[in-house]
């Protein structure tokens, strides 16, 4: 039996048993898209792929060859009827192959692209920001930011995108403000957002293509959980945000709107999808928890001063 759920009634969602079913608005009917970065069913890209197809799109899924082998992308491909084309987002050759093969597989030019790729080998190797390995920093910037430029440049040179296409990348507020433990990814996200502005100008002027980034709340995914102190960051962010943290499903909803024709004049923006976090200074919930933090462990026993970490 399909039961309309009161909480979600206005949002066109239904509950069957325990599963929430998203009803389609056909926002992407007839559109063709490429989605980078679905590793497993926690990935934000995974949720975006599911929602895009629910909204009537045809998609190509892509990830590195290793991620395609190790992850569960084949399951998503089966579920969404998508073609999987492995590509390393840092390789221009791979990207050229990906965009031309995608146009062939989808039977026409591309209407939307999601860049959902990030990795910091410095973080993985527990190198702190004042002890970075520079070859690993190059990798972080290449995978997490310059790959966005590469895909935009390849798409433009191949003329693989339709007029008024929408290109999105996922970012985090540490691009603007300093967060303990976010390390060299903060620099990568600043660069990513800058690329969206610089390329957005050129691509918008010439083809009406929109280029934006969505700045998402902390989200439990493979990449998210790699951030130092992630549990605390997640809780802090949730307490600080009047609407609470935005989930991966909610991020997917926002991506769909940005891919749709409803946002044709939005470009070169960092769009905050974070429950209000980015405009907060202190919330009551945050302050209550902060007051509980004056514990001995945070105080230097000899000097009596607070340790800032
Ligand atoms: N999870 C969070 O808290 C959070 C918050 C804000 C923004 N984001 C951003 O969202 C995006 C998606 O991350 P996620 O949280 O869904 O984690 P995830 O680990 O599921 O996705 C990261 C993806 O990047 C892919 N990737 C790594 N190197 C690549 C390469 N060379 N070429 C192509 N793909 C490559 C991985 O295979 C993986 O699929 C990232 O840009 C991340 O920084 C995440």
Give the tens place of pLDDT for each residue, 200-237.
Answer: 999 999 999 999 999 999 999 999 888 888 999 999 99
Task: Tell how far the Cα of 173 is from the centroid of ligand 1, in angstroms.
Answer: 15
Length of the chain: 309
Give me the phi and psi of 227, to 5 degrees please: -80, 135
Check whether 11 has a pLDDT greater than 60.
Answer: no
Q: Identify the residue whose tokens are 């429950």.
A: 275
Judged against a pLDDT cut of 90, whether residue 67 lies above it is answered with yes
Q: Compute the distance between CA of residue 13 and CA of residue 21 in angstroms, rounded to an integer.
A: 6
Burial bucket for residue 160 (CB in 10 Å: 0-12, 13-18, 19+): buried
State yes or no: pLDDT of 8 exceeds 90: no
Cβ 120 under 6 angstroms from ligand 1 = no
Å from CA of 111 to ligand 1 middle? 22
> 167 — phi, psi (to 5°)?
-120, 130
Does residue 199's CB lie within 6 angstroms of at least one atom of ligand 1? no
DSSP per-residue codes, 149-218: HHHHHHHHHTT-EEEEEEEEEEE-GGGTS--TT-TTHHHHHHHHHHHHHHHHHHHHHHH--EEEEEEEPP
Instruction: Give the Å distance between the CA of 24 and the centre of ligand 1.
Output: 26
pLDDT in tens, 98-147: 999 999 999 999 999 999 999 999 999 999 999 999 999 999 999 999 99
Q: How confident is the model at residue 7 (pLDDT cuts 50, 70, 90)?
A: very low
CA dihedral 171→85→257→200, nearest 10 degrees, is: 60
Among residues of the chain, what percentage have pLDDT more than 70? Answer: 90
CATH architecture observed for domain 25-298: 3-Layer(aba) Sandwich (3.40)
Distance 170 CA to ligand 1 centre (A): 8
Looking at per-residue pLDDT, the higher value among 145 and 7 belongs to 145
Task: Show the tokens assigned to 11.
Answer: 């949002």
For the full predicted model, state whether its pTM sits above 0.85: yes
Work out which ligand 1 atom sits closest to the CA atom of 143.
Answer: 31
Sheet holding 3-4, edge to edge: 3-4, 13-16, 19-22
Q: 153 CB contacts (<8 Å, ≥6 apart)?
A: 199
**How many Å separate Cα 96 from the centre of its chain?**
22
Does ligand 1 have an atom closer than 6 angstroms to the CB of 216? yes
Is 80 exceeded by the pLDDT of residue 293? Answer: no
Question: Looking at ligand 1, which atom is closest to the CA of residue 219?
Answer: 3
The whole-number average pLDDT for the span 49-61 is: 98
Q: What is the pLDDT of residue 271?
A: 98
Give the closest residue to 119 by CA, choosing from 134, 138, 133. 138
Q: Give the residue-averaged pLDDT of 146-151.
A: 98
Q: Is 94 in the pocket of ligand 1 (CB under 6 A)?
A: no
Position 34 pLDDT exceeds 60:
yes
pLDDT of residue 71: 84
What integer pLDDT is reported at residue 107 of this predicted model? 98
pLDDT band of 10, cuts 50, 70, 90: very low
Domain range summary for the chain, segments of one domain joined by +? 25-298
């Amino acid at each position: 039996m399909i039961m309309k759920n009161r909480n979600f009634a206005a949002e066109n969602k239904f509950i069957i048993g325990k599963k929430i079913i998203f009803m389609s608005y056909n926002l992407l009917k007839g559109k063709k898209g490429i989605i980078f970065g679905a590793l497993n069913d926690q990935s934000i890209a995974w949720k975006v792929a599911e929602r895009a197809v629910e909204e009537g799109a045809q998609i190509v899924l892509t990830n590195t060859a290793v991620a395609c082998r190790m992850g569960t992308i084949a399951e998503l491909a089966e579920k969404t009827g998508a073609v999987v084309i492995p590509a390393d987002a840092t390789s221009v050759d791979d990207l050229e192959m990906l965009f031309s093969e995608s146009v062939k597989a989808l039977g026409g030019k591309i209407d939307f692209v999601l860049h959902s790729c990030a990795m910091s080998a410095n973080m993985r190797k527990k190198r702190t920001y004042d002890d970075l390995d520079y070859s690993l920093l190059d990798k972080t910037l290449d995978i997490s930011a310059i790959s966005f430029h590469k895909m935009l440049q390849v798409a433009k040179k191949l003329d693989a995108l339709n007029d008024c296409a929408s290109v999105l990348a996922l970012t985090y507020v540490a691009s603007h403000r300093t967060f303990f433990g976010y390390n060299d990814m903060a620099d990568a996200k600043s660069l990513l957002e800058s690329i969206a502005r610089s390329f957005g100008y050129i691509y918008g002027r010439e083809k009406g293509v929109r280029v934006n980034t969505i700045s998402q709340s902390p989200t439990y995914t493979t990449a998210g959980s790699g951030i130092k102190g992630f549990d605390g960051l997640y809780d802090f962010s949730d307490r600080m945000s009047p609407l609470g943290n935005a989930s991966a499903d909610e991020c997917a909803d926002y991506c769909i709107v940005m891919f749709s024709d409803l946002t044709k004049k939005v470009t070169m923006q960092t769009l905050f999808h974070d429950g209000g976090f980015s405009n907060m200074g202190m919330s009551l919930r945050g302050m209550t928890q902060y007051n509980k933090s004056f514990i001995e462990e945070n105080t230097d026993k000899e000097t009596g001063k607070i340790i800032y970490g």
